[in-house]
Amino acid sequence: MPPMIEQERQEIRERFELTMDLYELGEAMMRQNLRREHPEASEAEIEELLVAWLQKRPGAEYGDAPGRPGRLP
């Protein structure tokens, strides 16, 4: 494989790894927030609250892109 292509692939891998690291950090921060808000909750309950939060997507209910929400055919 030409060096430029290999370098581009490595950069893509690194960016993806960084994206996943940031996602995991955000999830850990939200778990901590949920523990503070619900100190009596078990780990299973915290996990349920986290999943519900991820599904609701506060602030991005209609996606992350600007514009009006629409339906796909």
pLDDT tens by residue, 27-48: 999 999 999 999 999 999 999 9
For the chain, report the end-to-end CA distance as a whole number of angstroms: 40
> Domain residues for 24?
17-56
Residue 9 tokens read as 């692939």
> Does residue 7 belong to any structural domain of this protein?
no
| pLDDT value for 28 | 97
Question: Is there a domain that residue 64 lies in?
Answer: no
Radius of gyration of the chain (CA): 18
pLDDT tier, 64 (very low <50, low <70, confident <90, very high otherwise): confident
Instruction: Decide if 3 is inside a domain.
Output: no
Report d(CA 20, CA 4) in Å as an integer: 24
- State the total domains in the chain: 1
